[in-house]
Structure 1
Amino acid sequence: MLNVLSGFAVVVVIIALGYAVGRRGLLGPNAVYPLNMFVFYLATPALLINFLRDADLATVFGENLAMVVVSTLLAGAVGFLGYRYLARRRVSDSLVTMLACSYCNGSNLGIPVTTHVLDDPTASLPVIIFQVALYGPVTVLLLDVTSRRTPHGTGRTLGPLVRELFLGIVRNPLILAAVTGIVLSLVHSRTGRELPDLATEPLSLLAAGAVPAALVAFGLSMADVTVLDRDTSPRRSVWLASLMKTVGHPLLAYATARLLFDASGAVLLAVVVVAALPTAQNVFTYAQRFGVNTVLARDSAVVSTMLSIPSIAVITVLLG
C-alpha cells in the first residue's frame, strides 16, 4: 500500500508543479496544446507499444474489459435517467450528462495515473478502447439523431458523420499503438522474435516522457480555468455529475467487479481506480460540436478532476 500511495503522491506533486508553472506563465500562454500533442501523438503511443509487446494480452483484454463495459454503462444509465426524468431535460442534454457521469479521462490522465499508482500503463487501455471504438461513436450518433434538425426542419445525413467517426478511430494514435503492441506481442509469443535495439531505444526514450509531460500539461491546463459561474453554469447538475463520476462510478465498478466477476487484489484496485478517473475533455468536444449542454460538460470535466484526486487516494488506501 505504501508503494501505491507514494506513486500517487508523485502524480500530485507533478500536477502541482505544472499548476505553479502555469500560474507564473513560465512556458508561455499556449504551452498546454503542444505539450498535450507531444504526449498524445508520440510519448503515450510509445509507452503503450513498449508495455504491450511484453504484456499478457489475456489479462489486458479479458475480464478487465468486461468489467469496464458493464460499470461504464451502469454509471451512464444513472446519469441519463436522472437528468432525463428527474431534471426533465431533453434527450440530447441527457446524453451529454450520461457521458459526464461515465466517460473517463483514460488517456491524458489515466495512463500517467495508472503507470505511477499501479505500475501498469495498460490498466486504462480497456476503457480507452471501449470509449474510443464504441461508447463515444455510438453516443455521437445518438446526439446527431436527437439534435440534427436545422431551423428549416431538414436533417443532416448520417453518412459523413459515420465516415468521420470511423476515420477518427483508425487514425487514433492510441488505437494504432495498441494494435501495434498486440501484433508485436503475438509475434514474440509465437516466434520468439523481438524488436532490435534501434527500435526499442527510441521507444523507451519517448515512453519515459509520457507521464511527466502529461501531468505537467494537466497542471498547466488547471491554472487558467474558471468554472461554476453563477450566471451560466448549472452548478447543482455539475456537482451531481462530478460526484457520480468520481464516487458513484467507482462504487458501481467495485460492485460489478466483486459480484459479477469475483475480482480481488490488484485487478479490483485497477478497475476501481480507472472508474474514479475524471470526466474526459472529449465530452466537452462532443457537446460543443452539437451545441448541447456545453457548460455542464466543461465544468464537470474540471470539477470531477479536482474530486478525483482525493477519490483515488481513498481508493488506494482502502484497496491498495
Structure 2
Amino acid sequence: MAGLISAMEGFCVIGIVILVGYIAARMRIGGPNAQYVLNRFSFFVASPCLMFDILSQESLGVIFDSSIIVAFFSAMAVGVVFLILNHFFFKLKAPDATIGCLNSLYLNSNNIGLPIATYILGNPALVAPILLMQQAVFTPVGLTVLDVTTKGRVRVRDILKQPLHQPLLIGTLLGIIVSLISSKVGYFVIPSFIDDPISMIGDSAVPMILMAFGMSLYGTKPMADKRGRSATITVAVLKNVVMPIAAFILAFFVMGFRGPTLYACVVLAALPTGQNVYNYAARYNVGMTFARDGILLSTVTSPIVIALVAFLLS
C-alpha cells in the first residue's frame, strides 16, 4: 500500500508541473511562442541528452531484458487494433491516424514510468527496455510516417535518411554504444566534466515537455471536438485497458513469467500515453488536439488502472 501511495504522489508531482505550464501560459510568461520553444528545445536538445544519460549508465542486460518482448508485442497489438478501427470507423487522414496509433501504444516511460518503477516495482531500471524499444523502433517509424505524409511524397532516400534526423534515436544509440564500451573496459568511460552537463541538460527534458503540454491546455476545452471524441476515447481504452490485458496474456501464457516479473510487465503496460506524442504532433503541426486530449484522458485514468493491477497482482 505504501508503494501505491508513493506512485500516486508521483502522479501528483507531474500534475503540478503541467499546472505550472498552464498558469505560465495564462499569465503570458514567455510570450506567445513559449510553448513552441519548449517543444523544439526538448525535441532537439534535452530529450536526446536524457536518453543518452539514462542508457549509457545501464548494463546491456538491463537494456535488452526479455520483458521487452512483452512490451513490444502488446504495444504492436493495440497499435494495429487502432489502425483497423480507424480504417472502418474514424477515417482519419494518415498523419492524424499516426498520432492516434502512437497515442495508443506509446508509454510514458520517463516522467511517470520512472516513479512507478521506483515506488511500486522497486527498480527504476525496469523502464530501460521500454525506453529503448520506443526510441529505437516506434519513434523513428512514427516520425518517418509523419515526415512522408506531411510532405506529400514518399522517397526511399528520405526513409533511409530518417534516423539521421531523429535526435532521440541518435541519443539512444550513442548511450547504448557507451554502455557497451564501459562494460568492456570495466568503468564508465565518459569523464564527469562531460557527463555532468549532459545530465543537467537531460534533466530539463521532462519538465519542459510537461510545461509545454500544460501551456497547450490554456484557451482550449479538452474533448470539445465532438468529431474526434470517439477516437480519443478509443485510444485511451486501448492504452489503459487493452494493453495491460495483452501484456498479461503474453507474459503469463507465452513467456511463462510469474511473480514480480509478471507484475512489472502488466504495471508498465498500464502506464499512460507519453507526453512525447504531443511533442511529435507539435513538431509536425498535425493532430495536436487529438494528441493532447488522448494524453490527458489516458493520464487521468491511468492511476485507477494501475491501482487495480496492483490490487489484483501485487
Give the alignment's TM-score, normalised by structure 2.
0.77
The equivalent position to 2:291 in structure 1, one of 286, 292, 301, is: 301
| 1:204 lines up with 2:199 in the alignment | yes
Name 2:278's counterpart in structure 1: 281
- In 1: Cα distance, 2:280 partner to 2:35 partner: 18
CA drift of 1:74 comes to 1.2
- The number of residue pairs the alignment matches comes to 294
Partner amino acid for 1:269?
Answer: V
Taking the TM superposition and a 5 Å limit, the aligned residue runs for 1:224-263 are 224-226=219-221, 228-229=223-224, 233-261=227-255, 262=257, 263=261
| 1:216 lines up with 2:211 in the alignment | yes
Give the alignment's TM-score, normalised by structure 1.
0.76
| 1:22 lines up with 2:25 in the alignment | yes
Name 1:112's counterpart in structure 2: 111
Name 1:271's counterpart in structure 2: 269
SS at match of 1:213: helix
Name 1:67's counterpart in structure 2: 70
Name 2:44's counterpart in structure 1: 41
SS at match of 2:32: coil
- In 1: Cα distance, 2:283 partner to 2:211 partner: 25
- In 1: Cα distance, 2:206 partner to 2:235 partner: 27
Name 2:57's counterpart in structure 1: 54
The equivalent position to 2:186 in structure 1, one of 177, 187, 192, is: 192
CA drift of 1:191 comes to 0.8
TM-superposition CA deviations, 1:114-165 (whole Å, max 9, x none): 2344344634332232212345546877x69xxx7xxxxxxx6x43xx3223
Taking the TM superposition and a 5 Å limit, the aligned residue runs for 1:146-185 are 158-159=154-155, 162-185=156-179
SS at match of 2:29: coil
Residues 38 and 208 of structure 2 are in contact (CA less than 8 Å); yes or no, is this contact kept in structure 1? yes
- In 1: Cα distance, 2:200 partner to 2:280 partner: 31
Name 2:121's counterpart in structure 1: none
SS at match of 2:277: coil
Change (3 A) 1:42 1:98: closer
CA RMSD of aligned residues (A): 3.5
After the TM superposition, which of the residue ranges 90-99 and 305-314 deviates more from structure 2? 90-99
Unmatched tracts of structure 2, length 5 or more: 119-123
Change (3 A) 1:189 1:285: same
After the TM superposition, which of the residue ranges 256-265 and 167-176 deviates more from structure 2? 256-265
CA drift of 1:89 comes to 4.5
Unmatched tracts of structure 1, length 5 or more: 149-155, 289-293
After the TM superposition, which of the residue ranges 11-20 and 75-84 deviates more from structure 2? 75-84
SS at match of 1:55: coil
- In 1: Cα distance, 2:223 partner to 2:24 partner: 24
Name 1:312's counterpart in structure 2: 302
